[in-house]
Chain A
Amino acid sequence: MTLYDISMRLHPGMLGWPSGGSPEQSWEERLDRGQVSNASSWRLSSHAGTHVDAPAHFIQGGALLSEVPLDLFVGPCTVVEVADEFERIDCGVVESLALARPDARGAKPDLARLIFKTSNSRRRIGRNAFDPSFVAFMPDAAKALVGLGVRLLGIDYLSVDLFGNDSYPAHRALLGAGVAILECLDLRAVAPGRYQLACLPLRLEGSEAAPARAILWTN
Chain B
Amino acid sequence: MYLELSYVVGPGASYPDSPPDVIQPVERTANGDGANTTLVHHFLHNGTHVDTPFHFDPRGAPIDALPIEAFIFHSPLLVEVPKAPGEPVTPEDLARGDLANADALLVRTGFDALRDTDRAAYRVLYPGFTVEAARFIRDLPRLRAVAMDFLSVDGYVSGHRSGYAAHHALLDADASTRPPLLLIEDVNLAPLRGRTLRRLFALPLRFHGAEAAPVAVLAEVEG
Contacts and interface: CB of A to CB of B under 8 A. Distances in A.
Interface of A: 1, 3-5, 7-11, 23, 25, 28, 31-32, 36-47, 49-50, 56-58, 60, 66, 70-71, 74, 166-168, 171, 198, 200-213, 215
Nearest to B45: A39
A44 B40 contact: yes
Interface residues of B, number: 53
A213 B69 contact: no
A76 to B, nearest CB: 13
Contacts of A7: 206
Given A38-B55, A42-B210, A202-B216, A208 B36 contact: yes
A58 B8 CA distance: 22
A114 B36 CA distance: 24
A204 B206 contact: no
Interface string B201-221: 101111111111010101000
Contacts of A171: 35
B72 A3 contact: yes
How would you classify the secondary structure of chain B's contact residues: helix, strand, loop or mixed?
mixed
Contact of A43 (B36, B40, B45, B214): B40
Contact of A28 (B4, B29, B43, B214): B43
B119 to A, nearest CB: 15
B54 A38 contact: yes
B38 interface: yes
B30 A204 contact: no
Query: Which residue, of B4, B29, B40, has the highest number of chain A Cβ atoms within 10 A?
Result: B40
A58 to B, nearest CB: 5
